[in-house]
């Protein structure tokens, strides 16, 4: 049965967290989730555009309060992980974005509150890293401040992230009978194995301070042991905490591929998979304000310096947003430190009573931040200066 707008009006943040968890839709396929979230916002008087930025499961909702004032956007995610479900807790991100925005419309006197539904953070489908597309193609141009949140095993307000680009390398050789005609064959698998070895050797000669991570697999390596493999496919991810250094690594990586193809008399094609995920630009003014608000609420959130001392492990498309607009994604703790993420434990944590309590705090703090930004011109200026500084 189709729910009336009246029904949607009575849905609260925890209903959203549970419902999105239950929908369990993977990236680029979040049709039910996107529609459900958009309907809640419609019921609350937001103007909603479905399929924002040409992405079927994206949306943009906005509501004007008073006259003039800044434009503040909250980013929602609602994609699950293939196989396991909402083990990254994006159901909570959806709930937090929606209800931070709704709370903000109650607190603000002047401004425009926007919710953008940003699909496929996990990179499962066609619109992998949708925030990157939005950031690069001007879909965030009119926004003055972007706020987001992400659950995890610790609190942080300004965690660094790694730049990452994935590649698929396809080698082509010549098939032949491995016993009768081996001299006619050229093995694509040899090229792949040689590349794998070459990349392992490169790892020893990279900057240690820039958090280089290179991970690869052999996706295809032949079909029968008596046929020279004419096709072999490698998939690699290359990461670093410096975009510039990342570019140098990619050049070196490509040289290895070329050299190994030459050595084995095979040919190759390199394809980029998905967009380049940038590093996160930290905004100390914003981080410190949010941390102070969290401390007020009794949350032991570490200072920015302490967060910086942690080794960045992951990558996120929110990073690309932080490169084009003042932005902050708050990491909020819903499980004990050291809890493995993308696991069955985090799947349960995403609908736990602990998460329920924390979600309310995140919503209050993010909506307070929006209020502060709309009221305090000096605060806005300092955030802008932080953003423009290199
Ligand atoms: Zn996530």
Asked if 135 and 284 sit in the same domain, the reply is: yes
- Of 85-89, 309-313, 322-326, the poorest mean pLDDT is in 309-313
- Which CATH number belongs to the domain containing residue 245 in this structure? 3.30.70.360
What 3-state class would DSSP assign to 207? coil
Give tens-digit pLDDT for 95-106.
999 999 999 999
Q: Residue 347 Cα, ligand 1 centroid: separation in angstroms?
A: 12
- Which CATH number belongs to the domain containing residue 32 in this structure? 3.40.630.10
For all residues of the chain together, what is the average pLDDT?
A: 96
How many structural domains compose the chain?
A: 2
Residue 123: pLDDT band by 50, 70, 90 thresholds? confident
Over residues 172-193, the mean pLDDT reads 97
Q: What is the pLDDT of residue 310?
A: 87
Asked if 144 and 285 sit in the same domain, the reply is: yes
Q: What angle do CA 96, 101, 106 make, to 5 degrees?
A: 125
Q: Residue 93 Cα, ligand 1 centroid: separation in angstroms?
A: 9
Res. 6: pLDDT tops 90: no
Asked if 156 and 251 sit in the same domain, the reply is: no
The span from the CA of 163 to the CA of 320, in Å, is: 9
The span from the CA of 333 to the CA of 352, in Å, is: 12
Q: Residue 94 Cα, ligand 1 centroid: separation in angstroms?
A: 11
Give tens-digit pLDDT for 130-154.
999 999 999 999 999 999 999 999 9
Over residues 102-124, the mean pLDDT reads 96
Asked if 226 and 310 sit in the same domain, the reply is: no
Q: Residue 121 Cα, ligand 1 centroid: separation in angstroms?
A: 7
Q: What is the pLDDT of residue 331?
A: 97
- Of 78-82, 236-240, 308-312, 358-362, the poorest mean pLDDT is in 308-312
Res. 4: pLDDT tops 70: no
Q: Residue 90 Cα, ligand 1 centroid: separation in angstroms?
A: 6
Q: Maximum distance among all alpha carbons in the chain?
A: 82
Domain carrying residue 84: 5-161+280-388
Q: Residue 181 Cα, ligand 1 centroid: separation in angstroms?
A: 51
Q: What is the pLDDT of residue 2?
A: 55
Q: Residue 89 Cα, ligand 1 centroid: separation in angstroms?
A: 7
Q: Residue 191 Cα, ligand 1 centroid: separation in angstroms?
A: 35
Res. 36: pLDDT tops 60: yes
Q: Residue 374 Cα, ligand 1 centroid: separation in angstroms?
A: 29
Angle 284-296/353-375 helices, nearest 10 degrees? 130
**Which residue has better confidence, 123 or 299?**
299
Asked if 340 and 265 sit in the same domain, the reply is: no
- Closest to 126 (Cα-Cα) out of 59, 49, 56: 56
Q: What is the pLDDT of residue 242?
A: 95
Q: Residue 314 Cα, ligand 1 centroid: separation in angstroms?
A: 9
Asked if 261 and 196 sit in the same domain, the reply is: yes
Asked if 114 and 175 sit in the same domain, the reply is: no
The span from the CA of 375 to the CA of 111, in Å, is: 9
Asked if 45 and 175 sit in the same domain, the reply is: no
Over residues 99-127, the mean pLDDT reads 96
Asked if 155 and 170 sit in the same domain, the reply is: no
Res. 1: pLDDT tops 70: no
Q: What is the pLDDT of residue 245?
A: 97
Over residues 361-374, the mean pLDDT reads 98
Last residue of some domain: 277, 299, 327? 277
Asked if 245 and 145 sit in the same domain, the reply is: no
Q: Are 132 and 237 in contact (CB under 8 A)?
A: no
Over residues 37-44, the mean pLDDT reads 98
Give tens-digit pLDDT for 209-233.
999 999 999 999 999 999 999 999 9
Over residues 35-50, the mean pLDDT reads 98
Asked if 228 and 258 sit in the same domain, the reply is: yes
Over residues 56-81, the mean pLDDT reads 98
Q: Residue 112 Cα, ligand 1 centroid: separation in angstroms?
A: 27
Over residues 157-166, the mean pLDDT reads 95
The span from the CA of 281 to the CA of 390, in Å, is: 9
Last residue of some domain: 277, 307, 335? 277
Q: Residue 83 Cα, ligand 1 centroid: separation in angstroms?
A: 15
Give tens-digit pLDDT for 293-313.
999 999 999 999 999 888 888
Last residue of some domain: 252, 277, 302? 277
Helix ranges (DSSP H) in the chain: 5-9, 13-23, 31-43, 90-107, 130-136, 188-203, 243-264, 284-296, 304-308, 318-324, 344-349, 353-375, 377-388
Asked if 79 and 157 sit in the same domain, the reply is: yes
Q: Residue 331 Cα, ligand 1 centroid: separation in angstroms?
A: 10
């Amino acid at each position: 049965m189709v729910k009336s707008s009246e029904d949607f009006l009575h849905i609260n943040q925890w209903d959203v967290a549970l419902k999105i968890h239950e929908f369990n839709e993977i990236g680029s396929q979040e049709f039910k989730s996107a529609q459900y979230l958009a309907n809640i916002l419609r019921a609350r008087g937001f103007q909603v555009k479905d399929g924002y930025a040409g992405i079927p499961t994206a949306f943009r909702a906005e509501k004007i309060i008073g006259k003039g004032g800044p434009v503040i956007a909250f980013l929602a995610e609602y994609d699950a992980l293939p196989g396991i479900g909402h083990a990254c807790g994006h159901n909570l991100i959806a709930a937090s974005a929606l209800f931070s925005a709704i709370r903000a419309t109650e607190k603000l006197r002047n401004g425009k509150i926007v919710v953008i539904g940003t699909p496929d953070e996990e990179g499962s489908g066609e619109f992998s890293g949708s925030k990157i597309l939005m950031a690069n193609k001007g879909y965030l141009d009119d926004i003055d401040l972007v706020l987001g949140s992400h659950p995890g095993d610790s609190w942080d307000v300004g965690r660094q992230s790694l730049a990452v680009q994935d590649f698929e390398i396809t080698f082509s050789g010549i098939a032949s009978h491995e016993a009768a005609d081996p001299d006619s064959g050229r093995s694509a698998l040899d090229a792949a194995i040689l590349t794998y070895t070459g990349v392992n050797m490169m790892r020893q000669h990279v900057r240690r301070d820039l958090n280089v991570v290179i991970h690869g697999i052999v996706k295809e390596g032949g079909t029968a042991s008596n046929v020279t493999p004419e096709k072999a496919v490698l998939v690699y991810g290359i990461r670093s905490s410096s975009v510039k250094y990342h570019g140098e690594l990619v050049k070196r990586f490509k040289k290895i591929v070329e050299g190994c193809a030459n050595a084995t008399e095979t040919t190759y094609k390199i394809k980029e998979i998905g967009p380049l995920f940038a590093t996160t630009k930290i905004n100390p003014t914003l981080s410190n304000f949010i941390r102070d608000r969290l401390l007020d609420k009794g949350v032991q959130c570490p200072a920015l310096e302490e967060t910086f001392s942690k080794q960045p492990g992951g990558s996120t498309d929110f990073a690309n947003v932080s490169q084009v607009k003042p932005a902050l994604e708050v990491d909020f703790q819903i499980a004990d430190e050291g809890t493995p993420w993308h696991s069955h434990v985090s799947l349960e944590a995403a609908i736990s009573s602990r998460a329920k309590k924390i979600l309310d705090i995140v919503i209050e703090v993010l909506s307070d931040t929006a209020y502060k930004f709309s009221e305090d011109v000096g605060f806005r200026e300092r955030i802008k200066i932080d953003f423009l500084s290199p």
